Each structure stands twice: as structure tokens, then as C-alpha cells.
Amino acid sequence: MSAVNRHSGGGEAEKEQSAAEAAESMWVPESLRVPSPDEIVGQAFPHRDPLVITGITVICQDCGAREDWLILLSQRVVHVRCRCGHEWREPELTPAWFEETKRGPAVEYHSSAESVVQSLGFDGTFKGIYL
């Protein structure tokens, strides 16, 4: 059942004030706010297992790692990043593959790609350490 609010009397000033109060009461703290789709510049998820593309196991060209990757999607392009910080565009991986593989919705939002990489430990800090 829906209710209908019938406002009797009052002028435009009261309506504007009540609209402003309603907007203020709906304010969500920045730490709890989920960005709108047009604010999201990319997505990422850790891929702990070896990554096999077209039957070939991916190996980092810089450090020789064979597992524990960060998979990034930005502007419909998929990138792979190693713990050592080496990153490359992977043309064989598509946005559809990314969506199928990421295992669920995003749970963290970051203001920049750098903050994502750092918070997930793919900025080179944990080079050679596999979790």
C-alpha cells in the first residue's frame, strides 16, 4: 500500500525548505558512498592461481612469477599486473572474460588506480612474496 502526501496550505518557501531538509537527511558519509557508474574508471580483482591464456601459462617477464596476478579492467581493456609491479595489456582477455572470472560484485572502491594497486599489494612492495 502506498501513501499519498497531501500538503494543505503553505507556499513555495515551505516546499523548498522541506525538500532541502529531505536532501540533507539523505546525505551519506563519503566513506559509505558507492560511486555511480560514470564515476568508476576501472575494476580490479586478484587472481591467485596461475593464469592460463590460450593454453599458455603466463610468466612475468620481469621476475618470472607464474601466479598471483592483479587483473584490471579500464576503458574495456584488460591488463595483468604482477606483484613486482610489472603490468601489461593482455589482448587475449576480454571484458566478458573479466566479468565471468571476477567472482562477484566489487566490494571496494578507490579514488585512483594507484590506490587500488597499493591497497592490494601489487605496487612492488611484495615482490617475490606469494600469498
Using one digit for the tens of pLDDT, what is the confidence trace for 40-63?
A: 668 889 999 999 999 999 999 999
List residues bridging with 53 in a β-sheet: 56
pTM above 0.95, yes or no: no
Q: Check pLDDT > 60 for residue 8.
A: no
Give the residue with greater pLDDT, 120 vs 66: 66
Q: Tell me the C-alpha distance between 72 and 131, whole Å.
A: 19
pLDDT at site 118: 84
In a domain, 124, yes or no: no
**Residues of the domain holding 62:** 39-119
Going from the C-alpha of 95 to that of each of 1, 37, 60, 91, the distances in angstroms are: 42, 16, 21, 10
In a domain, 66, yes or no: yes
Q: Check pLDDT > 80 for residue 107.
A: no
Q: Tell me the C-alpha distance between 86 and 122, whole Å.
A: 9
pLDDT at site 80: 96
In a domain, 8, yes or no: no
In a domain, 69, yes or no: yes
